């Protein structure tokens, strides 16, 4: 092998390693931007920050690692969506349906999640600091190891919810 061939192989190996693990599907992103509907699509790692995504239909979508900081997802359907490691800080998620959603290690700091449905959602290790969850439904929700500093749970419905300390809590406790 010549030095040029070795350099070529090394360069492409490095470039291959630099490719992000979360690479969204461009066709899915274009469809979603046009219609606000993308059931089961792959938008992992996409930058959707500060977009108006009210009433979007992202059921069963794969959004792991996406940037949704400051986005408006009020009324969105995110049932069974994978939102692991997503940045939803300062997002408006009022009245959204997040039943069975995966929000492990998600950043929800300062998010407005009033009246959202989080039944059986997994928020293991999520940052919920100063999030507004007033009136939210958290039935069977996992909050283990979540940062709950300053969270507003006023009028929230808790039933069999696993709290950050591992204890299971309901409103009637």
Quick: pLDDT tens for 105-122.
999 999 999 999 999 999
In a 13 Å sphere around the CA of 173, the CA atoms on its Cβ side amount to 12
Distance set, CA 22 to CA 42, 63, 92, 152 (Å): 9, 9, 24, 32
Taking only Cα atoms into account, the Rg of the chain, rounded to an integer number of angstroms, comes to 19
Residue 24 DSSP symbol: -
By DSSP bridging, strand 161-162 and strand 168-169 are antiparallel
Answer yes or no: is 18 within a domain: no
Answer yes or no: is 77 within a domain: yes
**What does the alpha-carbon distance between residue 167 and residue 69 come to, in Å, rounded to a whole number?**
30
Answer yes or no: is 6 within a domain: no
Split into its structural domains, the chain has a count of: 1
Quick: pLDDT tens for 43-85.
999 999 999 999 999 999 999 999 999 999 999 999 999 999 9
Answer yes or no: is 110 within a domain: yes
- Give the CA dihedral 27, 32, 35, 40, nearest 10 degrees: 100
Structure tokens given for 110: 């300062």
Maximum Cα–Cα distance across the chain = 74
Answer yes or no: is 104 within a domain: yes
Quick: pLDDT tens for 4-49.
555 444 434 444 433 344 578 888 888 888 899 989 999 999 999 9
Answer yes or no: is 106 within a domain: yes
Answer yes or no: is 126 within a domain: yes
Phi, psi of 15 (to 5 degrees): -60, -40
Q: Give me the residues paired with residue 47 across strands.
A: 67
CATH of the domain at 138: 2.160.20.80
Print the domain residue range for 90: 29-167
Answer yes or no: is 99 within a domain: yes
Q: Average model confidence (pLDDT) for the chain? A: 89
């Amino acid at each position: 092998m010549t030095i040029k061939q070795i350099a070529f192989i090394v360069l492409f190996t490095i470039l291959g390693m630099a490719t992000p693990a979360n690479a969204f599907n461009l066709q899915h992103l274009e469809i979603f931007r046009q219609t606000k509907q993308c059931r089961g699509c792959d938008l992992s790692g996409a930058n959707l920050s500060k977009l108006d995504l009210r009433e979007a239909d992202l059921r069963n979508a794969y959004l792991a690692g996406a940037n949704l900081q400051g986005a408006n997802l009020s009324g969105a359907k995110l049932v069974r969506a994978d939102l692991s490691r997503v940045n939803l800080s300062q997002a408006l998620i009022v009245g959204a349906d997040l039943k069975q959603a995966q929000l492990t290690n998600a950043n929800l700091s300062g998010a407005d999640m009033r009246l959202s449905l989080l039944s059986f959602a997994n928020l293991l290790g999520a940052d919920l600091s100063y999030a507004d969850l007033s009136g939210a439904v958290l039935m069977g929700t996992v909050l283990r190891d979540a940062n709950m500093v300053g969270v507003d749970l006023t009028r929230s419905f808790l039933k069999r919810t696993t709290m950050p300390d591992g204890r299971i809590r309901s409103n009637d406790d």
